[in-house]
Structure 1
Amino acid sequence: MSQTLEYKGYSGSVLYSADDKILHGRVIGIRDAITYEGTNVRGLEKNFRAAVDEYLQFCEQESKEPDLPFRGTFNVRLGHELHKRAALYAEEHDQKLNRVVHDALEQFLSRS
């Protein structure tokens, strides 16, 4: 089962390194690289929150807009044939391609 941490709208992964005997993770859903680690769950959670706070503070000091997690847009590489099929389906059903992809993804994830 996959676990994530949540803080101030940011999500972080929870991973274990058997080689190093530590927990570690990264903030997911943004372009900037934010990582953290801890020797136990409490330490990992504390360091995750501190990493997010440091990132937001850095952005403020640099007058930089922080990346917002999961902005709702991403690029998908489908391949020529699947792209064509999806576009033709959208056209035939008087829909935008984005709506077709959204609905397909929603349906797929609701089965999981």
Structure 2
Amino acid sequence: MNNVVEIDGEKAVIAFDPEIRMLRGEFVGLNGSADFYAENVHDLIAEGRKSLAVYLDMCREKRIEPRRTFSGRFNVRLSPDDHAAAVIAAAAAGKSLNEWIVGAIRDAAETDHPRPKA
């Protein structure tokens, strides 16, 4: 993914903010907000390190878990036609709808977790 960077073990999404003409980074997977800005990539990484350190220090002081936990479940709302198309594609691949969706998400997110057994 070309707009995701890892800084000190945490992933951040990077975007360009045209209103202020700066790069903006925002850590994902944290319980709170930790964003950062800079005019170039080198400075953005440095600002990201500072922002993350401040966030983690605050979490330690307040005894807050810094990272979100994920249950592994979420609801997806889509049109009946898209739902039917997904069921057909899963069946054609010899997979359950859940297995097919997990594979599609992993492919789109470029993760390297082991695939579920069919």
TM-score (ref. length: structure 1): 0.64
- Identity of matched residues, %: 27
Question: Distance in 2 between the 1:18 and 1:85 partners?
Answer: 38
Post-superposition offset of 1:40: 2.0
Per-residue CA deviations over 1:49-76 (Å, capped at 9, x if unaligned) read 1111111111111111112487755443
* Mean Cα deviation higher: 98-107 or 49-58: 98-107
Aligned partner of residue 2 in structure 1, secondary structure: coil
Kept in 2: contact 1:59–1:66 (CA 8 A): yes
Question: Distance in 2 between the 1:63 and 1:17 partners?
Answer: 33
Amino acid in structure 2 at the alignment position of 1:105: I
**In the alignment, what sits opposite 1:6?**
6
Structure 1, unaligned stretches of length 5 or more?
none
Provide closer, same or farther for how the CA distance between residues 59 and 2 of structure 1 changes in structure 2, counting only shifts above 3 A: same
Provide closer, same or farther for how the CA distance between residues 109 and 2 of structure 1 changes in structure 2, counting only shifts above 3 A: closer
Per-residue CA deviations over 1:19-56 (Å, capped at 9, x if unaligned) read 32221121124452221001222211111111111111
Aligned residues, how many? Answer: 109
TM-score (ref. length: structure 2): 0.61
Question: Distance in 1 between the 2:44 and 2:67 partners?
Answer: 22
Structure 2, unaligned stretches of length 5 or more?
111-118
